[in-house]
Amino acid sequence: MKYIDMHCDTLTRLYDLGAENTGESLRKNSGHLDLERMRAGEALIQCFAIFTNLKTQPDPYRYSMAVCDLFWREMEKNRDVISPVLSAEDLLKNENQGKMSALLTIEEGAVCRGETEILREFYERGARMMTLTWNYPNDLAWPNRIDFERGIMEPETEKGLTKKGIAFLEEMERLGMIIDVSHLGDAGFFEMAEHTKRPFIASHSNARGAAGNVRNLTDEMIRLLADRGGVMGINFCPAFLSASQSMQKGGGQSFVRDMVSQMKYIRNVGGIECIGLGSDFDGITGELEVDSPAAFWKIADEMHRQGFAASEIESVFYRNARRVFTEILH
């Protein structure tokens, strides 16, 4: 079954490993995701995030640009099987040529240093999706408060977007850049909805009503996202899948049955059209029943077993995300 995966951290993992000096590559590596396993899983589009941790990178902008450079080197080396997506036309062209598509994304808007000129620079370098935040407040917005060491997990209901954050949203919509609300705090989510007009996505977020981690979306958020025509990607991280593991810092067990339970919950709240896949491969830990794209068939089988129609499975696997990408990308 063809699929679109809206989030992975494979690029950052390869860069941090010094992959080009260790024999690891996008085509074949020891992580969760590589091109060989993507082909085995019938990948249509893989979103590759430039993930930047503000606490460990002294110069987030330069770091992100270096990861961006790695993306383009890998695209050139593997142009026989995968091509980047810069426009809706590229999606169709790659599919017609039998190639997989790669969509470059940014996970941490602070890499733009609060300057829309740098946002445009990343756009010119190929980035077509961005989160305003990761786990720390920045000059654009606030995330929800999560501190596993102190046992704190609280929604941020007062501090939302900064003026710069609002300006970034406006510029992203003008450019045709997909707004990703994963990691954004509760207040920021609703402010984002007020200041935007087009569909948006939550690339790797589940339902808070089914697993209480504040990284997940509330029912109200899911309905708003669905009403706007957006899509949310089921995250395979154990802490975001099941209520019993929602306070775990890492590890745990990720089961297909919990993914499908999340889908059922979200379908009841927002409808099947707002559900997609957002694995978070190479950014999560634990025992994963689906541990690579080559194992995505397990999800389709479990969905079928639990009564999802073939058309619903196709919608979740690729049709919903492709609809949003086609509408937003210029």
**SS3 annotation, 88-125:** HHHHHHHHHCCCEEEEEEEECHHHHCCCHHHHHHHHHC
Nearest Cα neighbor of 37 from 233, 297, 322 is 297
What is d(CA 302, CA 54) in angstroms, rounded to the nearest whole number? Answer: 38
Segments forming the whole domain that contains residue 315: 3-328
pLDDT of residue 251: 84
pLDDT of residue 77: 98
Q: In Å, what is the CA distance from 221 to each residue of 89, 179, 216, 255, 262?
A: 30, 15, 10, 25, 15
What is d(CA 178, CA 180) in angstroms, rounded to the nearest whole number? Answer: 6
CB-CB contact of 180 with 202 (8 Å): yes
Per-residue pLDDT of the chain in tens (330 residues, 90 and over written 9): 999 999 999 999 999 999 778 889 999 999 999 999 999 999 999 999 999 999 999 999 999 999 999 999 999 999 999 999 999 999 999 999 999 999 999 999 999 999 999 999 999 999 999 999 999 999 999 999 877 677 778 999 999 999 999 999 999 999 999 999 999 999 999 999 999 999 999 999 999 999 999 999 999 999 999 999 999 999 999 999 998 887 777 789 999 999 999 999 999 999 999 999 999 999 999 999 999 999 999 999 999 999 999 999 999 999 999 999 999 998
Q: Total domain count for the chain?
A: 1
Structure tokens, 289: 């029943």
DSSP per-residue string spanning 47-104: EEEEE--TTT-S-HHHHHHHHHHHHHHHHHHTTTTEEE-SSHHHHHHHHHTT-EEEEE
Could you give phi then psi for residue 24, rounded to 5 degrees?
-80, 145
pLDDT of residue 294: 99
pLDDT of residue 145: 85
Q: In Å, what is the CA distance from 73 to each residue of 3, 67, 103, 150, 216?
A: 24, 10, 14, 41, 34
Q: Which stretches of the chain are DSSP H helices?
A: 10-17, 19-22, 35-40, 60-77, 88-96, 116-124, 163-175, 186-194, 219-227, 238-241, 256-270, 297-305, 310-314, 320-328
Nearest Cα neighbor of 125 from 170, 64, 202, 53 is 64
Q: What is the CATH number of the domain that holds 244?
A: 3.20.20.140
pLDDT of residue 249: 72
Strand 152-154 vs strand 145-147: parallel, antiparallel, or unpaired? antiparallel
